Chains A and B, each alone.
Chain A
Amino acid sequence: MKYLSDDAVARLRQIVDAPDLSGTRYRIVEKIGRGGMGAVYKAEDTVLNRMIALKVLDEENDEANIMAALEHLGIVPVHDAGRLPDGRIFYAMKLVDGAPFNELRAPLADRLRVFQKICEAVAFAHSRGVVHGDLKPENIMVGAFGEALVLDWGVAALARRGSIAGTRGFVAPEQAAGTAMDARSDIFSLGAILRDVLTAEPARPSLTSICAKAMAVEPRDRYASALEMTAEIARYLAGEPVQAHRETLSERAGRLFVRHYMWILLIAAYLVMRTLLLLFLHR
């Protein structure tokens, strides 16, 4: 048995890792990244003359079928799937030109609106009986026009076979413990994503309470659906009280001021003018 140097092992590793696309319509441009379930490449579709994202799976799973069944604006569309000459399963999907959600630099309100879109895509998947299982900012791509696309449904595929994973910091406790996993596990992860959005922002008790409710240890204490969660965000953005938070008097006054500040300013201006007028007339 020949001794293989570290360099030789590294070269052979690359050979083993690189997908064999001979005889297919795709040509690799570069490797974009690697998830738990496989590697993703930027590739050229030589038939349609466009760039796509090609995912090559480490193991056979239903990921492509799951994504293909989820036709939604917030879920990456699958174009093609099959087996490569080297035996590996691949699927081709839309190449999203954007940045991960955690790299989005925008005002809080804009990021919350993107977050609502994420919730809507997740709610749609739940309505089709699919739990994502690995929601985290890196798995959400945001396009130049604020469109949000949820990626990487590999854990959902594994969950169907009873094998569950997730990412530390975002995975629900029951999922991490391997005891159970359902739509409420995704709600927990959405709460963790929202928590990240709020990091480095001034404290906002209403949003903090939404996070806390979504990330409750007991699944029954969380929001019952992702749509309920997006409705809470909508209330916050509209300056209405959120159900997860009992306001103090000063918080309520502050919220009402922010919500109606134009009217309040107009009335105040009117009162000041009127007072000045009265003073002038009685001089």
Chain B
Amino acid sequence: MRFPSTRRSAVLASQSSDPAERRQAFESLVDAYWKPVYKFVRIKWLCDPDDAADYTQGFFARAIEKDFFRSYDPSRGSFRTFLRTCLEGFIANEKKAATRWKRGGGATILSLDFATAEGELREHPPAPDASPEESFHREWIRSLFALALDDLRELSEALGKQSDFEIFSRYDLDEPTSYAALAQEFAIPVTTVTNRLAWARREFRRLLLDRLHSVDGRESELL
């Protein structure tokens, strides 16, 4: 099981001499960015779902092949903006040269669930007044939070604290409820609800920041 610990900066790790570390760095970036990239391509260039999936695969394949992310300079802006700029350059070049990855022709290097991403886009279309860039930012934040939530679930299971995760999920994600109602439902004292919620929230925060730092993000970008 992948047990989340303090992750290294993906940009730094991508320059490691250790192939396993480079691979993990790349996976961190793909985990956090593939959905925002796919949806951005769909929204900004109005590509059909298959083309957007091909462009997404192609972008990450080219990024690893050409080592795009090595040239990132933190003093010039956020990694998120840098990656989006790389993506825009990539799409522009592909369209200009008309040599984009042919549907089914480009090697599928990543196992990405584009059908789910497409379903999300259909059920939760971007706000009409949001620019593609704003939507990209929102989707990136959504991805990070969802990944951190998965990490918390994994951690809770590994530590035998499934009910802590359950309480966190019920209180902070579902319809509003009270500590007393949760105490009754889980047959535990209210103080235990408070303590378990406090633990889960603290761990969630830590895991989220872990994810954020692994993709060279800053806390101010979450606001």
Which residue numbers of A lie inside 8 Å of B, CB to CB?
A: 1-6, 8-9, 11-13, 15-17, 20, 22, 34, 36, 58-59, 85-87, 178
Q: Number of B interface residues at 8 Å Cβ cutoff, please give it.
A: 26
Check if A9 sits within 8 Å of B204, measured CB to CB: no
B204, A12: Cβ atoms under 8 Å?
yes
What's the nearest-Cβ distance from chain B to residue A1, in Å? 5
Q: How far is the CB of A6 from chain B (nearest CB, A)?
A: 8
CA separation between A85 and B195, bound complex, in Å?
A: 13
Bound CA span A11–B171, Å: 10
| A-chain residues with CB within 8 Å of residue B204 when the two chains form the complex | 12, 15-16
- Interface of B toward A, CB cutoff 8 Å: 75, 120, 124, 138, 141-143, 145-147, 149-150, 172-173, 198, 201-202, 204-206, 208, 218-220, 222-223
Per the bound structure, the CA–CA distance linking A167 and B9 in Å amounts to 29
Which of B198, B201, B205 has the most chain A CB atoms inside 10 A of its CB? B205
Choose among B149, B172, B205 the residue that contacts A86 (Cβ–Cβ < 8 A): B205
* Candidates B120, B147, B218; contact of A58 at CB < 8 Å: B218
Which B-chain residue is minimally distant from A19 (CB atoms)?
B205
Given contacts A22-B198, A86-B202, are A4 and B146 in contact (CB under 8 A)?
A: yes
Question: Is B146 within 8 A of A16, CB to CB?
Answer: no
- Measured in the bound complex, the distance between the Cα atoms of B222 and A171 in whole Å is 25
In whole angstroms, how far apart are the Cα atoms of A20 and B206 in the complex?
12
The residues of B that contact A16 with a CB separation of less than 8 Å are 204-205, 208, 222
Given contacts A16-B208, A58-B220, contact A3 B198 (CB under 8 A): no
Report 28 cross-chain contacts, Cβ distance below 8 Å, ordered by A residue: A1-B143, A1-B150, A2-B146, A3-B142, A3-B146, A4-B149, A6-B138, A8-B145, A8-B173, A9-B138, A9-B141, A9-B145, A11-B173, A12-B149, A12-B204, A13-B145, A13-B222, A13-B223, A15-B205, A16-B204, A16-B208, A20-B205, A58-B219, A58-B220, A59-B218, A85-B202, A86-B205, A86-B206
* CB neighbours of B75 from chain A (8 A): 178
Q: Which residue of A lies closest to B203 (CB)?
A: A86
Does B206 lie within 8 Å of A12, measured CB to CB?
A: no
Contact, CB under 8 Å: B223 / A34: yes
Which B residues touch A22, using CB under 8 A?
A: 198
Determine how close the nearest CB of chain B comes to the CB of A37; give it in whole angstroms: 9
Complex CA gap A209/B170 in Å reads 63
Complex Cα gap A1–B147 (Å): 7
Do most interface residues of chain A lie in helix, strand or loop, or is the interface mixed? loop
Task: Report chain B residues within 8 Å CB of A6.
Answer: 138
A65 to chain B minimum Cβ distance, whole angstroms, is: 21
Contact B145 A12 (CB under 8 A): yes
Q: How far is the CA of A20 from the CA of B201 in the complex (A)?
A: 9
Q: How far is the CA of A271 from the CA of B94 in the complex (A)?
A: 91
B145 / chain A contacts, CB cutoff of 8 Å: 4, 8-9, 12-13
A86 to B204, CA, bound (A): 10
Chain B positions within 8 Å of A17 at CB level: 223
Q: How far is the CA of A87 from the CA of B207 in the complex (A)?
A: 12
Query: What is the distance, in angstroms, from B195's C-beta to the closest C-beta of chain A?
Result: 9
- Alpha-carbon distance A11/B201, docked complex (angstroms): 12
Chain B residues, Cβ within 8 Å of A3: 120, 124, 142, 146
The CA of A269 and the CA of B208, in the complex, are separated in Å by 80
Q: How far is the CB of B172 from chain A (nearest CB, A)?
A: 6
Q: Determine whether the beta carbon of B201 is less than 8 Å from that of A15.
A: yes
5 more contacts with CB within 8 A, not counting A9-B138, A17-B223, are A3-B142, A9-B145, A12-B149, A15-B204, A16-B204
Contacts of A20 in B (CB 8 A): 198, 201-202, 205
Q: Nearest 10 CB-CB pairs, A to B? A: A58-B219, A1-B146, A16-B205, A12-B145, A8-B173, A3-B120, A4-B146, A15-B201, A86-B202, A9-B145
* Bound complex: CA A6 to CA B173 (Å): 11
A12 to B117, CA, bound (A): 21
Give every chain B residue within 8 A of A15 (Cβ-Cβ). 172, 201, 204-205
Nearest A-chain residue to B195, judged by Cβ: A22
* Separation of A1 and B222 alpha carbons in the complex (Å): 19
CB proximity of B178 to chain A, nearest CB, Å: 16
Contacting residues, chain A, for B120 (C-beta < 8 A): 3
Q: Within the assembled complex, what's the spacing in Å between the Cα atoms of A59 and B212?
A: 13
Chain A positions within 8 Å of B149 at CB level: 2, 4, 12
Nearest opposing residue in chain A for B35, CB measure: A1
Residue of A nearest to B113 (CB): A1
Shortest CB-to-CB span from A7 to chain B, Å, is 9
Task: Write out the residue numbers on chain B whose beta carbons fall within 8 Å of the beta carbon of A87.
Answer: 206
